[in-house]
Amino acid sequence: MMTKKIKIDPGHGGKDPGAVGNGLQEKDLVLTISKLMKEYLEDNYTGHEVQLTRSTDVFHELSKRAKIANDYDADVFISNHVNAGKGTGYESYVYTNASAALKALQNVLNDEVLATARKYGLGAHGEDRKRANYQVLRETKMPAILTELCYIDSKDNKLLKNDDFLKDMAHAYARGVAKFLGLLKAKVVTSASAKRYYTVAKGDTVSAIAREYDTTIAKIKDWNNLDSKYTIQIGQNCV
């Protein structure tokens, strides 16, 4: 099984707060959303690894964000943003000359996101499937999408102050990315002694499983000493 690589880009950061309004800063909101995405992907899917372009309040030039994704050889890139301009609603952008893969990414992501958004009374801002010559879309080598969750300086700000909304929308983003990549769902054990449940599939390597668990290869090889919060089962017909 080929490990898929996901690069999540929380927009702005550091000296660049992005959009501001109603006591909120875009850079903080998108970092929260991106971390929730990463967590959800790691807890619910197998066969992938996921990284952020930033995990703290630091600033990267747009060219560096694209380079980080290209150097990582990511299979998909998603740049998360929050809008301003006193509008309302969600939208997303892919590069102007959209390939079939870009259209597929945008379609599956928007379907997931808008289905969740509607539960909170939020729809699309005009045409939700937009095209743009943005630098992070133009310079990345993999299918890339830029999202605008909703507006920080309008009535949407009430949603941006709702932790449940941020979490649910982040999870919708993650499901869209997972569907685009064809990731397999991980089985989750809810007992106190096992927080995650991983089924070994044909082609999995010890190093891949170690990355999935964020642990060491040595611990994975020594099954008896593996952290008790993880449970591994051997899938059928794995060999």
Three-state SS sequence of 123-185: CEEEEEEEEECCHHHHCCCCCEEEEEEEECCCCCHHHHCCHHHHHHHHHHHHHHHHHHHCCEE
Count Cα neighbours of 125 within 13 Å in the Cβ-side half-sphere: 20
Does residue 195 register a pLDDT over 50? no
Distance CA 83, CA 90 (A): 9
Q: How far is CA 201 from CA 67, 75, 118, 184, 239, in A?
A: 32, 20, 36, 10, 8
User: Which amino acid is residue 14, in one-letter code?
Assistant: G
**What are the pLDDT digits (tens) for 158-186?**
999 999 999 999 999 999 999 999 999 98
**What are the pLDDT digits (tens) for 87-138?**
999 999 999 999 999 999 999 999 999 999 999 999 999 998 999 999 999 9
Q: What is the pLDDT of residue 41?
A: 97
Which residue has tokens 């801002």? 125
Does residue 155 register a pLDDT over 80? yes
Q: What is the pLDDT of residue 128?
A: 86
As a whole number, mean pLDDT of residues 211-236 equals: 50
Does residue 58 register a pLDDT over 90? yes
In sequence order, which residues have a C-beta less than 8 Å from that of residue 229 and are 6 or more positions away? 193, 194, 195, 196
Domain range summary for the chain, segments of one domain joined by +: 4-184, 186-234
pLDDT averaged over every residue in the chain: 87
Q: What is the pLDDT of residue 194?
A: 42
Model confidence, pTM: 0.79
Q: What is the pLDDT of residue 210?
A: 59
Alpha helices in 14-95 (DSSP H): 26-44, 62-72
Distance CA 191, CA 40 (A): 18
Gyration radius of the chain's alpha carbons: 18
Q: Is 218 exposed, middle or buried (0-12, 13-18, 19+ CB in 10 A)?
A: exposed
Residue 239 pLDDT class (50, 70, 90 cuts): very low
User: What superfamily in CATH does domain 4-184 come from?
Assistant: Zn-dependent exopeptidases (3.40.630.40)
Neighbour count for residue 210 (Cβ, 10 Å): 16
- DSSP count for the chain of H helices, then E strands: 8, 12
Does residue 238 register a pLDDT over 50? no
Asked if 23 contacts 91 with a C-beta cutoff of 8 angstroms, the reply is no
Active site residues: 148
Q: What is the pLDDT of residue 233?
A: 54
**What are the pLDDT digits (tens) for 127-142?**
989 999 999 999 999 9
